[in-house]
């Protein structure tokens, strides 16, 4: 594995890029040059980007080289503040989706030192990172946005099917969509999607053949839905606002999420008989009683152990909470509940459960553990470690 370095304040594209003292100046130059003579990455590489300046690419950063996940030929593009790794989990400047969400609300952040490397398209690009011909590209600790917001910008884009890769502890805002890819095995963790994404969908990936989304926060506006995707596994995420939180076109597993204040509904399907959704341990709180919780007009819906309520303070209408339009029947499941989940303080982004919450120990049982909690906050022994349970 080789390491390369970028420093926007002190670097020079005439340097070797092989040490911090010999750092390059721009991300696009680094990505262009991290290849062998044949133009093919011959081993896994990491490009370390120091948060010494706001990076404003003058063109799309195109990862044009080829590689194979099967051979572990991956490319990591990682931000850091002072020392290598200090923005990764456990580092002094690690942020995370919840910190970004609370910062957007003007609330107290859990980690007041949290930072990300600023990559600003500044109105001049349609795509920031193009990974159309490279498998296994992973982005870490970047704030990808467009301050001028005058173009239908996409943060991470692929025009063809890629394998692997993902984004970790990244922020996306001020653009058309955060991610628009065709992918197999793309993984998003600890990412924040802000309320100034204006293109209708924070993640616009209806042709995906497998995407995993965990520990992410979607801070949606009145015109932008959260996720439009194919085969997907979504866990431990928070969706606030928007028309729909999730629209799926393939079999999907959706568990331990919070859906809050959607004006149309939490989950819908839009493709046909293959739209099979399994949803467990979610808290579903649309804005009003006639907004939907889960809705399918094709395919099938398998749900149980969810909590249904409204931000307005009442139950969701019986034909809206969890509605299978094929059979004209409610399919909430016998173990679901219809009560106020008793969040700690939703207006400041605190979706933890109060001590008296009916969602505590009411979730789907796990062998050897027993009942879990409904919602995105879990006991640490229940689920894999993620930022929402730290």
Domains of the chain plus CATH, in order, are: 44-389 (2.160.20)
Burial tier of 228 (Cβ tally within 10 Å: 0-12, 13-18, 19+):
buried
Instruction: For residue 163, give the 3-state DSSP assignment.
Output: strand
- 222 near 197, Cβ under 8 Å? no
Dig out the tokens for 228 from the structure.
């439009």
**Strands 322-324, 329-330: pairing kind:** antiparallel
The pTM (predicted TM-score) of the whole model is 0.91
Dig out the tokens for 55 from the structure.
């990076």
The whole-angstrom separation of Cα 388 and Cα 235 is 10
Burial tier of 58 (Cβ tally within 10 Å: 0-12, 13-18, 19+):
exposed
pLDDT in tens, 295-332: 887 777 889 999 999 999 999 988 888 887 776 677 88
Dig out the tokens for 136 from the structure.
């296994």
Dig out the tokens for 27 from the structure.
């991300």
The pLDDT value given to residue 67: 45
- Backbone dihedral region of 200: left (phi > 0), alpha (psi from -120 to 50 degrees) or beta? left
Nearest-CA neighbor of 75 among 116, 30, 117? 30
The whole-angstrom separation of Cα 332 and Cα 326 is 15
- 344 near 285, Cβ under 8 Å? no
Q: What is the pLDDT along the chain (390 residues), one digit of tens a residue?
A: 789 999 999 999 999 999 999 999 999 999 888 865 444 555 678 999 999 888 999 888 888 655 444 344 788 999 999 999 999 988 999 988 888 888 888 776 666 678 899 999 886 777 899 888 778 899 999 999 988 766 668 899 888 888 888 999 999 998 888 998 887 889 999 999 998 888 788 988 877 778 899 999 999 988 888 888 877 899 999 999 999 998 887 788 999 999 999 999 888 876 555 667 889 999 999 999 989 888 887 777 889 999 999 999 999 988 888 887 776 677 888 999 999 999 999 988 889 899 999 999 999 888 777 788 999 965 443 443 334 443
The whole-angstrom separation of Cα 99 and Cα 18 is 33
Radius of gyration of the chain (CA): 21
């Amino acid at each position: 594995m080789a390491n390369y370095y970028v420093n926007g304040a002190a670097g020079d594209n005439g340097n070797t890029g092989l040490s911090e003292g010999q750092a390059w100046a721009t991300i696009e130059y680094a990505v262009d040059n991290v290849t062998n003579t044949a133009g093919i990455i011959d081993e896994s590489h990491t490009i370390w980007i120091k948060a010494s300046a706001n990076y404003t690419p003058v063109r799309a950063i195109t990862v044009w080289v080829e590689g194979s996940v099967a051979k572990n030929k991956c490319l990591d593009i990682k931000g850091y503040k002072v020392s290598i790794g200090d923005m990764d989990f456990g580092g002094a400047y690690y942020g995370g989706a919840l910190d970004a969400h609370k910062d957007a609300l003007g609330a107290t952040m859990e980690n007041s030192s949290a930072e990300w490397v600023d990559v600003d398209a500044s109105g001049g690009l349609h795509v920031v990172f193009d990974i159309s011909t490279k498998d296994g590209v992973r982005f870490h600790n970047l704030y990808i946005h467009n301050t001028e917001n005058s173009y239908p910008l996409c943060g991470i884009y692929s025009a063809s099917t890629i394998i692997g890769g993902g984004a970790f502890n990244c922020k996306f805002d001020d653009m058309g969509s955060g991610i628009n890819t065709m992918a197999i095995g793309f993984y998003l963790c600890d990412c924040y999607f802000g309320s100034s994404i204006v293109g209708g969908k924070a993640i616009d990936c209806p042709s995906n053949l497998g995407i995993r989304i965990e520990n992410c926060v979607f801070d949606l506006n009145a015109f932008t839905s959260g996720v439009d995707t194919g085969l997907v596994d979504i866990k431990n995420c928070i969706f606030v606002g928007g028309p729909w939180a999730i629209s799926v076109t393939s079999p999907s597993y959706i568990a331990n999420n919070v859906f809050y204040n959607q004006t149309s509904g939490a989950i819908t399907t839009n493709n046909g008989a293959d739209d099979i959704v399994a949803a467990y341990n979610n808290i579903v709180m649309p804005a009003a009683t006639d907004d939907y919780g889960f809705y399918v007009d094709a395919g099938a819906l398998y749900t149980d152990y969810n909590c249904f309520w409204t931000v307005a303070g009442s139950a969701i209408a019986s034909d809206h909470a969890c509605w299978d339009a094929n059979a004209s029947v409610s399919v909430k499941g016998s173990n679901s509940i219809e009560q106020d989940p008793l969040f700690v303080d939703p207006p400041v982004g605190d979706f933890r459960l109060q001590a008296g919450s009916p969602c505590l120990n009411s979730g789907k049982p796990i062998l050897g553990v027993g009942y879990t909690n409904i919602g995105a906050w879990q006991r640490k022994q229940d689920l894999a470690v993620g930022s929402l349970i730290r």
